[in-house]
Structure 1
Amino acid sequence: MFERFTQDAREIVLGAVEEARRLRHPRVGTEHLLLGMLTKPHSGAYAVLHAAGLEHDRVRAEVTKIVGGSGRILTDDDAEALKAIGIDLDAVLANVEKSLGPDSWTTPPPEHEKKGIFRRPQRGTRFGPRARKTLELSLREAIRLDQRRIGSEHILLGLIREGEGLAAQVIVGAGVSLADLRKSTETRLRSAV
């Protein structure tokens, strides 16, 4: 499928991988694809998103607020569940950092992965199920529009069509209608042909 991606679309996917790495998230999600689109100002998806009022720094801040940016594996819901049985997750993490140093409990970026008898070498960045679905839907959107190549706009249409991932939540949370974003994206695609 990736052989059908335009250079812009490939850069967005690579940008998503980089965003996940920078945020120290173990998997690439729809939010990382959205952030990847917002780092490529020459792409059509960027133009549509920017015109809708979405900016990289604000989206990244929102993603960090919701998911976290330090590779913390447990969520706020997990912390609440542990608190209900008498375990203060923040206190545990603070003690780990005090003993082992700052960020010792976080997931290391891929380039720091160690090989060894107890650790498997990382075989590449893992895409979450919604991100994989988004990329699959981008192909379906290109086919639906009778276009041979998958561009950045098709990835955006796939993201909109998937509609349930964190990226869609962030977009709607910013006051942008997914239906309006779809119309703007399709209009841009038609004008580019």
Structure 2
Amino acid sequence: MFKRFTERARRVIILAREEAELYRHEYLGTEHILQGIIKDGGGIAIAIVQKSGVDMTQLKKELEKNLPRSSNSLIIGDIPFTSRAKKVLEFAVEEARSLNHNYIGTEHLLLGLLKEKEGVACRVLNSFGMFFDDVREKIIDMFKEPTESNRE
């Protein structure tokens, strides 16, 4: 599943898992993927969020306010993805394909979060004025701009 993911996108998923463990959640949800993107702090997804005028500190606070309560159970072993988080990954793959990218990067994860309209991450991003069509357009524009490396 993750073989076409960039190193940074893989790191985001690892950080998402760590966030789920930290909050003692028995699942990995869309909110954890967004936390992973924020915690990583780099890549095209972060550049797009900042280009959208979103204050990262405020985004992080709002996301934390929307997190479900921690469970008291100790998590041992694998933490399963929620059906919404799985959908985000599927949407990320679809978006990479539709943009003719042969990899899945943080920008595709961000698009996946926005395309999956029911999750905590999408609701929080929408509250900051970030919507799928606008973000997709910003990503397309970013790839038109000459840079050292648009692939992270």
TM-score, normalising length: structure 1: 0.68
The separation in 2 between residues aligned to 1:161 and 1:190, in whole angstroms, is 22
Q: 1:167 to 1:157 in 2, by over 3 A?
A: same
Are the aligned partners of 2:90 and 2:112 in contact in 1 as well (CA < 8 Å)? Answer: yes
Q: What is the aligned partner in structure 1 of residue 134 from structure 2?
A: 180
SS of 1:185's equivalent in the other structure is helix
Q: What is the aligned partner in structure 1 of residue 45 from structure 2?
A: 45
Matched, 1:164 2:130: no
SS of 2:141's equivalent in the other structure is helix
Give the RMSD, CA atoms, in angstroms. 2.0
| Residue pairs, 1:133-172, within 5 angstroms | 133-172=87-126
Q: 1:54 to 1:28 in 2, by over 3 A?
A: farther
Q: What is the aligned partner in structure 1 of residue 4 from structure 2?
A: 4
Are the aligned partners of 1:160 and 1:182 in contact in 2 as well (CA < 8 Å)? Answer: no
Aligned length: 146
Q: What is the aligned partner in structure 2 of residue 59 from structure 1?
A: 59
TM-score, normalising length: structure 2: 0.84
Kindly provide the CA deviation profile for residues 86-135 of structure 1, in whole angstroms up to 9, marking residues without a partner as x.
xxxxxxxxxxxxxxxxxxxx122x3xx4xxxxxxxx3x121001110100
Larger Rg: 1
Extract structure 1 runs of 4+ deviating beyond 6 A: none
The separation in 1 between residues aligned to 2:99 and 2:129, in whole angstroms, is 27
Deviates more, 1:145-154 or 1:45-54: 45-54
Kindly provide the CA deviation profile for residues 54-78 of structure 1, in whole angstroms up to 9, marking residues without a partner as x.
42x433433333333422xxxxxxx
| Residue pairs, 1:94-113, within 5 angstroms | 106-108=72-74, 110=75, 113=76
Q: Which letter does structure 2 place at the counterpart of 1:8?
A: R
State the shift of 1:142 in Å: 1.1
Q: 1:11 to 1:157 in 2, by over 3 A?
A: same
SS of 1:38's equivalent in the other structure is helix
The separation in 1 between residues aligned to 2:25 and 2:55, in whole angstroms, is 22
Q: 1:8 to 1:160 in 2, by over 3 A?
A: same
Are the aligned partners of 2:29 and 2:85 in contact in 1 as well (CA < 8 Å)? Answer: yes
The separation in 2 between residues aligned to 1:44 and 1:182, in whole angstroms, is 12
Q: What is the aligned partner in structure 2 of residue 82 from structure 1?
A: none
| Residue pairs, 1:120-135, within 5 angstroms | 122=77, 124-135=78-89
